[in-house]
Amino acid sequence: MASKTSRDVLSRGLGVLRQAIREQPRIFAVAVVGSVLFGGMIIVSARVVGSVIGEVALPAIERGEVGAGSLVLAATALFGISVLRVVGIFGRRLGAGYMQYRLQASYRRRVTRRYLELPLSWHHRNSTGTLLSNANSDVEAAWYPIAPLPFAVGTLVMLIGAIVSLFATDWALALVGLAVFPALFALNVVYSRRMAPRQARAQRLRAEVSGIAHESFDGALVVKTMGREAQETARFAGRAGELRDSLIAVGRLRGIFDPLLETLPSLGTLAVLVVGAFRLRQGAISVTELVSVAFLFTVLAFPVRAIGWVLAELPRSVAGWDRVRRVLDATGEMPYGQRVLDPAGAGPATLTFTDVHYSYPPAEAHPPGAQVLGEVGFTVPSGRTVALVGPTGAGKSTIASLAVRLVDPDSGTVSLDGVDVRELTSASLAGTVALVAQVPFIFDDTVRANIALDRPGVDDEVVWAALRLAEADGFVAALPDGLDTMVGERGTSLSGGQRQRLTLARALAGRPRLLVLDDATSAVDPRVEAAILAGLRSSTTEAGVPAASILVVAYRRATIALADEVIYVEQGRVVARGTHSELLATVPGYVDLVTAYEQAEVERAQESSYGDDVAPLPSGLEIEVDR
């Protein structure tokens, strides 16, 4: 079984190398030519050294004088060979390095592009640490054997030339070469087979260590407030220890085989000298030929190692390649169509849900195939504001995701201005609708960069207009550097409400025709939230028409009351619709939900008014409040 697995790793590893050569044939050819030139010069140098010893040095010793012409000729020959070897080394290393780094850069781009193409459901099934490892260490591992590959190919050509040269010199010395060279190759194969499982395990543990580290750092607030520092440190240390032991196992195996790989050519040189001395006594070979062969075996030790380097890295390459291909071959992307909607100046868009059903994929659903939405149908008319209300788990966020096509329905249609969103181009959809999610995401950049996102036409005037509409211009103007203020990773220098208002301004800066707010102002003071919603409803384009239609997931009574229509959902179905006052009068579940949330708001307001009667928080622990 182990032998079969090793053969499989070798076969698949060679397949990865073939893929690399197909993608970069010209650069590979340059590197191989350099390597072959280097190998050829080694064989030639063995002949030249043999000639210098046998035909220049020994006769000079016998005569007691050195001929200047012979000496100059020998020096010129050796110098010329050295220059050509340097050229070969330069071409080989430059080509190999260029090829390796081009492949790594290309596949990092491919993996990242694939991440952006795959739906959120796929990302939910894969940890961030694993995805980071795929794009970084796995890509590097996949193409790690590329660096020694041209050298190894040149070495194979050199070995063939060396064997031919040996047979041309003497059959007995050639038999020594035929014994040593296959032994070197066999040792490399055994090395590769033993190394395969160790390298695969080390590569897997690299991803796991990265995942644990990212999870611990990303959840630092929870770790610290729950007093889990020691446990998280122990969890990370345990997996890091496994990685350490795995890498030590790799190093230990390498420590055993490296001396053997060094020793075999030396034993070959010794065998050549023994056999060669016997053949020299018989008169079958000359001193020049014996020195040439002995020198050849001496200088072959290093190049032959290149074959071992490639074989040793194949297991790691296969492990990395498999993890990269898992991303590139992942299915579930949502192809876009070719339809284009009218630009923003055409006025607000109309959103329509028609008999929409949606279930989470089997890997995410509990139980598998559980339906989230069923027979959902409603319309957000052009220029109107519709509030989506329902208990936790009713499917509100899923409806918001469907509206902006983060996911597609199992059946039914979601359309904008009568066009199925699946028929729209990516640019048209992004330019028509904007989502402001529950959890705001802020880049570690300036306020300006977070809002503009390098979009054409979004200058400072547009940025300030969006900030005013989001009720965020006041606190931004008060920041130390205004729009140029760095907000920190995930906006850590801002309060929760400020982050929400910045993400709202970001969406508004794109002038969407439909704005989807998924509980996007939950951390904002109710009075500020009401002002934001009122401002959004009253905003108009230069032509005097409403700027956008609004679908808002809401809980607060003041927010809901601003809507033209309320859609009440329970267990993934629309159970009632109408104005806020109509639903209060006719839907008990709606009344209970709105009343419960309103009571919770009152209790929080009363607690905050107690002032000094409230016990102080422990040192270092702060609650985010809207500033």
CATH of the domain at 45: 1.20.1560.10
Of the two residues 543 and 460, the one the predictor is more confident about is 460
For residue 583, pLDDT beyond 50:
yes
At 535 the pLDDT is 77
At 620 the pLDDT is 36
- Alpha-carbon distance 267 to 136, whole Å? 42
Of the two residues 127 and 426, the one the predictor is more confident about is 426
Same domain, 179 and 155: no
Of the two residues 5 and 510, the one the predictor is more confident about is 510
Are the C-beta atoms of residues 349 and 424 closer than 8 Å to each other?
Answer: no
At 543 the pLDDT is 45
Which residue type occupies 45?
Answer: S
What backbone phi and psi angles, to 5 degrees, belong to 421?
Answer: -60, -25
CATH of the domain at 558: 3.40.50.300
Same domain, 415 and 556: yes
Could you please report the per-residue DSSP string of 423-472?
A: GB-HHHHHHHEEEE-SS----SSBHHHHHHTT-TT--HHHHHHHHHHTT-
Burial class (CB in 10 A: 0-12, 13-18, 19+), 235: middle
Q: Is residue 289 part of a domain?
A: no
Are the C-beta atoms of residues 207 and 137 closer than 8 Å to each other?
Answer: yes
For residue 251, pLDDT beyond 60:
yes
Which residue type occupies 73?
Answer: L
Same domain, 271 and 124: no
For residue 351, pLDDT beyond 90:
yes
Residue 595 in tokens: 């009343």
> Which residue blocks in 435-566 are alpha helix, DSSP H?
447-452, 460-469, 473-478, 496-509, 526-538, 557-561
Q: How many domains does the chain have?
A: 3
pLDDT digits 0-9 by tens, 480-499? 888 888 887 777 778 878 88
Same domain, 59 and 135: yes
Residues 6+ apart with CB under 8 A from 585: none
Residue 152 in tokens: 């190894």
At 131 the pLDDT is 77
pLDDT digits 0-9 by tens, 152-189? 888 888 878 877 877 887 888 778 777 777 777 777 77
Helix, strand, or coil (residue 416): strand
Q: Is the dihedral of CA 63, 68, 70, 72 positive or negative?
A: positive
Same domain, 519 and 375: yes
Same domain, 45 and 126: yes
- Alpha-carbon distance 106 to 101, whole Å? 8
Helix, strand, or coil (residue 492): coil
Could you please report the per-residue DSSP string of 118-150?
A: S-HHHHHTS-HHHHHHIIIIIHHHHTGGGTTHH
Of 535, 552, 562, nearest to 467 (Cα)? 535
For residue 83, pLDDT beyond 60:
yes
Same domain, 562 and 522: yes
- Alpha-carbon distance 238 to 232, whole Å? 10
Q: How many residues does the chain have?
A: 627
Of 173, 121, 541, 131, nearest to 364 (Cα)? 121
* Cross-sheet strand order for the sheet of 573-578: 433-436, 514-518, 549-553, 385-389, 565-570, 573-578
Of the two residues 487 and 100, the one the predictor is more confident about is 100
For residue 292, pLDDT beyond 50:
yes
Q: Is residue 125 part of a domain?
A: yes
At 100 the pLDDT is 92
The CA–CA distances, whole Å, from 337 to 340, 431, 457 equal 9, 15, 25
Q: Is residue 302 part of a domain?
A: no
Burial class (CB in 10 A: 0-12, 13-18, 19+), 91: buried
DSSP letter at 366?
Answer: S
- Alpha-carbon distance 62 to 613, whole Å? 110
User: Which range of residues forms the domain containing residue 77?
Assistant: 15-169+314-332
CB neighbourhood size of 620 (10 A):
7
Q: Is residue 309 part of a domain?
A: no
Which residue type occupies 164?
Answer: V
Same domain, 198 and 264: yes
pLDDT digits 0-9 by tens, 388-416? 998 888 888 889 989 988 888 889 999 99
Same domain, 228 and 322: no
Measured in Å, how far apart are the chain's first and last C-alpha atoms? 65
Same domain, 194 and 259: yes
Q: Is residue 106 part of a domain?
A: yes
Q: Is residue 89 part of a domain?
A: yes
- Alpha-carbon distance 589 to 44, whole Å? 92
Which residue type occupies 183?
Answer: A
Same domain, 147 and 37: yes
pLDDT digits 0-9 by tens, 35-74? 889 888 888 887 777 777 767 676 666 666 666 676 777 7
The helix-helix angle for 287-328 and 25-51 (nearest 10°) equals: 160
Claim: this prediction has a pTM higher than 0.85: no
Residue 472 in tokens: 């965020």
Residues 6+ apart with CB under 8 A from 362: 368, 369
The whole-chain average pLDDT of the chain stands at 79
- Alpha-carbon distance 416 to 419, whole Å? 5
- Alpha-carbon distance 458 to 454, whole Å? 7
The CA–CA distances, whole Å, from 183 to 150, 189, 257 equal 22, 10, 13
Q: Is residue 618 part of a domain?
A: no
At 559 the pLDDT is 78
Same domain, 276 and 388: no
Q: Is residue 478 part of a domain?
A: no
